[in-house]
Amino acid sequence: MTGIYIHIPFCVRRCLYCDFFSTTQLNRAAEYTEAVVREIRLRYDETGEPIRTIYIGGGTPSTMDCSYIERILQTIGVEGKDEITMEINPGDATKQYLYELRKIGIQRLSIGIQSFQDELLVKIGRRHNAQQAITAVRLAQEAGFDNISIDLMYALPTQTMHMWQFDIDTAVSLGVQHISSYGLMYEDGTAITQMRNRKQIEPVDEETENIMYDYLCERLGQAGFVHYEVSNFAKPGFEAVHNSNYWNHSPYIGIGAGAHSLVGNVRSWNPENLDEYIHGIMAHDLQRESESLTKYDLYNERVMLGLRTNKGVSETLLNQFRSNTDTILDFINRGMLCRTDNQRIIATQKGLHLLNQIIEKLMIDA
Ligand code: SF4
């Protein structure tokens, strides 16, 4: 199954924690759309399989007029798709915009809420407020969207357990079908990392972060969400199809500045530069970088992605490398991994806290 990812790099302003490729040159949406349309036409057939899912992410795709999104969707074709998702910022979610998105074929929304507390939203530099977040979900439901995902963040500076419980309860009460939740990461070069380094903010300690994560898993489980990926929770039948394909290591075509693709064993990526991307596409001279994944790279990626999901990784795959057999047994004995009835290895709740370390131990050096 092939998915297509469209990167829309425009943001009204930079959130303090963000290290994604984005730009505030919103006035370039028209020329960017033309470049994207051209790249889709050039690369649509790259995997030799029909496109089944479309994901429009960013940046902030909802900074773009609906007519641009429509032009992109029409170029790909919306008929017969399993899932068409678009990320939106709550601040852009007017009634009219949401109705237009429905009309042009968007089936699923991913709303970047992050928190239902104004105080925390200001601290991380988001441009919307809590009321806009709630209104965005309500308006999307009124517009007919019955597959809505929201993003929530935890381990935010000054966030208490009580605040986090309030955010999760609010999310559950809104009746959304999917929740993605991530702890705040202090990435190199971001404004929030500089603030931490200058001691202007105090990061949440690791123990509290783990307690927040456990509460998230427990509370959403009680509310009927399936914890199907380390950071993702869905009502049964609402697991993200496009993203699940990434985790299954299925092929995808990434369109737009900075977008990554995986076709066969080749990973490639477009330049993270708006001018370079637009001029390259228009001049039929886009310089895309690529790397061929070795059998070790493929194995490592399958282990890394598989262990993040509730399907885990097959023992047959893990046992391809003898050196891993004892390591797996050790993790099982320490209650971090467990074996399912169908011979798959999955991470336990305890193991999810230390997933990166577990994965690192199971990686094979080429
Ligand atoms: S809206 Fe998203 S992509 Fe844009 S700056 Fe904020 S986190 Fe980054």
Note whether 294 and 321 are within 8 A (CB). no
Q: Sorting pLDDT into bands at 50, 70 and 90, what band is 317?
A: confident
Ligand 1 centroid vs 37 CA: distance in angstroms? 23
Residues 219 and 327 in one domain: no
* Cβ of 18 less than 6 Å from ligand 1: yes
Q: Sorting pLDDT into bands at 50, 70 and 90, what band is 247?
A: very high
Q: How many CB atoms lie within 10 A of CB 147?
A: 20
Residue 95 lies in a domain: yes
Helix orientation angle between 206-222 and 161-173, rounded to the nearest 10 degrees: 20
* Cβ of 22 less than 6 Å from ligand 1: yes
- The pLDDT, as a whole number, for residue 301 is 93
Note whether 278 and 258 are within 8 A (CB). no
Nearest CA to ligand 1 atom 5: 14
Degrees, nearest 5: CA angle 130-134-138: 165
How far apart CA 201 and CA 204 sit, in angstroms, is 10
pLDDT digits (tens, 9 = 90+) for 282-302: 999 999 999 999 999 999 999
- The pLDDT, as a whole number, for residue 366 is 67
Last residue of a domain, one of 225, 246, 267: 246
Residue 253 lies in a domain: no
**CATH code, 139:** 3.20.20.70
Half-sphere exposure of 4 (CA within 13 A, CB side): 29
Last residue of a domain, one of 187, 219, 246: 246
Residues 242 and 300 in one domain: no
Q: What sign for the dihedral angle of Cα 74, 79, 81, 85?
A: positive
Residues 34 and 141 in one domain: yes
Residues 316 and 191 in one domain: no
Residue 256 lies in a domain: no
Residues 214 and 315 in one domain: no
Residues 41 and 142 in one domain: yes
Residue 275 lies in a domain: no
- The pLDDT, as a whole number, for residue 332 is 95
Residue 260 lies in a domain: no
Residues 194 and 80 in one domain: yes
Domain extent, residue 189, equals 2-246
Note whether 154 and 213 are within 8 A (CB). yes
Last residue of a domain, one of 230, 246, 262: 246
- The pLDDT, as a whole number, for residue 72 is 98
Residue 251 lies in a domain: no
**Mean pLDDT in residue range 324-348:** 92
Residues 65 and 190 in one domain: yes
Ligand 1 centroid vs 58 CA: distance in angstroms? 7
- The pLDDT, as a whole number, for residue 114 is 98
Residue 273 lies in a domain: no
Q: Residue-wise over 40-51: b if at least 16 C-beta within 10 A, else e?
A: beebbebbeeeb
pLDDT digits (tens, 9 = 90+) for 23-81: 999 999 999 999 999 999 999 999 999 999 999 999 999 999 999 999 999 999 999 99
Beta bridge partner(s), residue 114: 152
Residues 85 and 160 in one domain: yes
Number of domains the chain is built from: 2
Helical spans, DSSP H, in 180-282: 191-197, 206-222, 241-247, 274-282
Nearest CA to ligand 1 atom 8: 18
Question: What pTM was estimated for this model as a whole?
Answer: 0.96
pLDDT digits (tens, 9 = 90+) for 173-191: 999 999 999 999 999 999 9
**Mean pLDDT in residue range 104-117:** 98
SS3 344: strand
Residues 236 and 310 in one domain: no
Residues 134 and 41 in one domain: yes
Residue 284 lies in a domain: no
What's the full length of the chain, in residues? 366
**CATH code, 320:** 1.10.10
DSSP character string of 7-75:
EE-B-SS--TT--S--B--GGGHHHHHHHHHHHHHHHTTTTSS-EEEEEEEES-GGGS-HHHHHHHHHH
